[in-house]
Structure 1
Amino acid sequence: MKTTYIKVSLSAILLLGIYSCKKGEAVSVENSATDSAVAMVTDSVSSAATMTVENKQFIKTADVNMEVKDVYETTISIEKTVQDLGGFVTHSNLQSNVVSQETYNTSGEEAMLIKKYQTENTMQVRVPTEKLGDLLVQINDKKLFLNSRTIKAEDVTSNIKYAEMEAKRIKKTGENIDQLKTNKDKVKLDNDNMAEGNLQQLANIDTSDHIKYSTVDIYIKEPKLRTAEIAVTNTKNIDNKYKFNFIYDAKNAFVEGYYLIQKIAVGLITIWPLLLILAAIVYFLRKRRPLKAESTKIQD
């Protein structure tokens, strides 16, 4: 009996151990599957941005348009991420577009201004090209809804080769110019060749910079309108309070009338020659009228 009990106990322990091992293996498989899924999501987000081809040079750019919960917080987060990745922000235009605003009077002196607005931001950042995929993954984590995302990789290998050949040509042209006799034509040729060489160097620097740093244009906005409640003064009541003051307005009207009399007097003094001529005409006409009346009586 005792032997049978021992066998049963050993069998139970063995079965429990096998079950635990299988359960542990299942959990391990499940965790591995989860890790693989995360890796696949990450790869799907960044594979286009992290693409490399042997003996090829690419200028990579990206354009992201998405909706986020809070534009301001997302902007701060993106700027910090860009800085941590060794990049920098070249443009950031955060603004709130006011859809409507109304003022409601709450008392004789106070009122409430209600604004309905939508916040958006247009950004342009630049990050080391090898970090472009990391940045896009970080940005993707902030989205509520992705409207669009475009990633471009422009092959500039042939452009770089052509720039190298142009540099050799410009150098050879400079050596040929140096062998010419010094005159006005030589000075002009040398100046033109140096100017062409400077432009070529500038183009090389610009291309190298765009290969090293990728440019990302980001547009983010909030999906719904926000409201802002701003305490303001009841301006209508203030206007009514000071709209009319009888004593002040009457006093001011009296003073303005006094000044008007002065202006009229000064104006009359200014045109005294005209008044003198007018008075002479009136006097002449009045003096002539009695003479005409006497002539009429004599004729009768």
Structure 2
Amino acid sequence: MFTSFLLLIFKCYKRSWLNFDSSKTTKISAMKTTYITLSLSAILLLGIYSCKKGEVASTDLEAYATTDSASAIVSDSISSVAEMKVKDKQFIKTADVNMEVKDVYNATIAIEKSVQELGGFVTNSNLQSNVVSENTYNTSNEKAMLVKKYQTENRMQVRIPTEKLGELLTAINTNKLFLNSRSINAEDVTANIKYSELEGKRNQKTSENISKLKTNKDKVTLDDENMSEGNLQKLSSMNMTDDLKYSTIDIYIKEPQLRIAEIAVTNTTSIDNKYKYNFIYDAKDGFVYGFYLIQRIIVGLINVWPLLLIAAAILYFLRKRKISKPEYPKNPE
């Protein structure tokens, strides 16, 4: 654009030069005038071009800053570990979240709904209320108020498709009042997968070698042991495949403040006092108890009659011996 403008000025200068008189003085004066005009125009154009360039550079910088800011927001909302993908690498991803929420029950429902929408499932959910204190206050002779102070918490374990792990963590984060901790682990199991494949081939080769042996007791034992080892290897491979497909998240949520529950109950103290003492019934019960006590004593004596008979015989012989024993007079000194 700047070059085109200079060419345009040069053409004008050429035309004016041709139209001037052939006088040398006139031509020199015209050249000076044209040169001054050309210089002023070039300076003016250069200043305008510099301003425009500065504006463009400022706009690009603002756009870059906006893009960088948006990128920073994305990286903050979704963990890089949760979204990490490396060529020729396999990762088993797990996460642990510990946070405080306004309402544990509503947060639990929201998390379970998000898990279901993302194609996952809940393997454990243990919602409970821990009672801090419990007191009963009588409000009348018949009524009372039970006041409980408690704190609600929930321990959950969910499985989510690995590619949806970041989305679920973001959804869980929207329920928090305060995040105590969040840990994400990506275990590289690429070598384990290769080792599992090699073990499967080895097991198959061993099975082929055993089949070539003569049939006897040792062959049956070897084949059984090899088959058992192969089944364990298949089970391990299935578990690893499942862990690669679904990530496990352990979630602990609780309410930061105590809740208070007021429950209307019956005044048991007044009822206890009402029926605690009854003289007529207690007196009657006392006579009946005394009568049965006498019966139990008599029955008890009857049960030990041999002992009573032996004791009576011993007492009789002792008294008889004492009576039959002679008494000798004392010798006077």
Q: 1:195 to 1:271 in 2, by over 3 A?
A: closer
Measure, in 2, the Cα distance between the counterparts of 1:169 and 1:296: 114
The letter for the 2-side match of 1:169 is R
Q: 1:274 to 1:186 in 2, by over 3 A?
A: closer
Give 1:38 deviation, angstroms: 6.9
2:285 aligned partner? 252
Q: Is the 8 A contact 1:42 1:137 kept in 2?
A: no
2:202 aligned partner? 169
Q: Structure 2 length as normaliser, TM-score?
A: 0.73
Q: 1:296 to 1:177 in 2, by over 3 A?
A: closer
Give 1:265 deviation, angstroms: 2.3
Give 1:178 deviation, angstroms: 1.1
1:184 aligned partner? 217
Q: 1:42 to 1:139 in 2, by over 3 A?
A: farther
1:17 aligned partner? none
Q: 1:149 to 1:283 in 2, by over 3 A?
A: closer
1:88 to 108, 114, 121: 121
Measure, in 2, the Cα distance between the counterparts of 1:267 and 1:63: 71
* Number of equivalenced pairs: 267
Give 1:263 deviation, angstroms: 1.9
Higher relative contact order (CA 8 A, sep 6+): 1
Q: Is the 8 A contact 1:59 1:156 kept in 2?
A: yes
1:203 aligned partner? 236
1:133 to 150, 163, 166: 166
Does 2:155 correspond to 1:146?
no
Q: 1:196 to 1:267 in 2, by over 3 A?
A: closer
The letter for the 1-side match of 2:243 is H
Correspondence 1:100-119 to 2 at 5 A? 100-119=133-152
1:21 aligned partner? none
Give 1:289 deviation, angstroms: 7.2
Q: Is the 8 A contact 1:66 1:144 kept in 2?
A: yes
Give 1:266 deviation, angstroms: 2.3
Deviations 1:101-143 (A, max 9, x none): 1111111111111111111111000010111111001000000
Give 1:53 deviation, angstroms: 1.2
1:44 aligned partner? 76
Does 2:193 correspond to 1:157?
no
Q: Which structure 1 segments of 5+ residues have no match?
A: 1-28
Measure, in 2, the Cα distance between the counterparts of 1:222 and 1:172: 58
CA RMSD of aligned residues (A): 2.7
2:53 aligned partner? none
Radius of gyration: which is bigger?
2
Deviations 1:206-236 (A, max 9, x none): 1100000000000000011111111111121
Measure, in 2, the Cα distance between the counterparts of 1:199 and 1:274: 74
Q: Is the deviation greater in 67-76 or in 189-198?
A: 189-198
Measure, in 2, the Cα distance between the counterparts of 1:291 and 1:206: 101
Deviations 1:213-268 (A, max 9, x none): 00000000001111111111112112111111111111111111111122222233
Q: 1:170 to 1:252 in 2, by over 3 A?
A: same
Give 1:90 deviation, angstroms: 0.7
1:20 aligned partner? none
Does 2:101 correspond to 1:73?
no
Give 1:45 deviation, angstroms: 2.7
Measure, in 1, the Cα distance between the counterparts of 2:120 and 2:268: 49
SS in 2 for 1:154: strand
Measure, in 2, the Cα distance between the counterparts of 1:104 and 1:169: 74
Q: Is the deviation greater in 284-293 or in 53-62?
A: 284-293
Give 1:282 deviation, angstroms: 5.8
2:88 aligned partner? 55
Q: Is the deviation greater in 270-279 or in 284-293?
A: 284-293
The letter for the 2-side match of 1:45 is S
Q: In percent, how many aligned pairs have the same letter?
A: 68
The letter for the 1-side match of 2:73 is V
1:228 aligned partner? 261
Measure, in 2, the Cα distance between the counterparts of 1:73 and 1:43: 28
SS in 1 for 2:84: coil
Measure, in 2, the Cα distance between the counterparts of 1:162 and 1:213: 21
Give 1:48 deviation, angstroms: 2.3
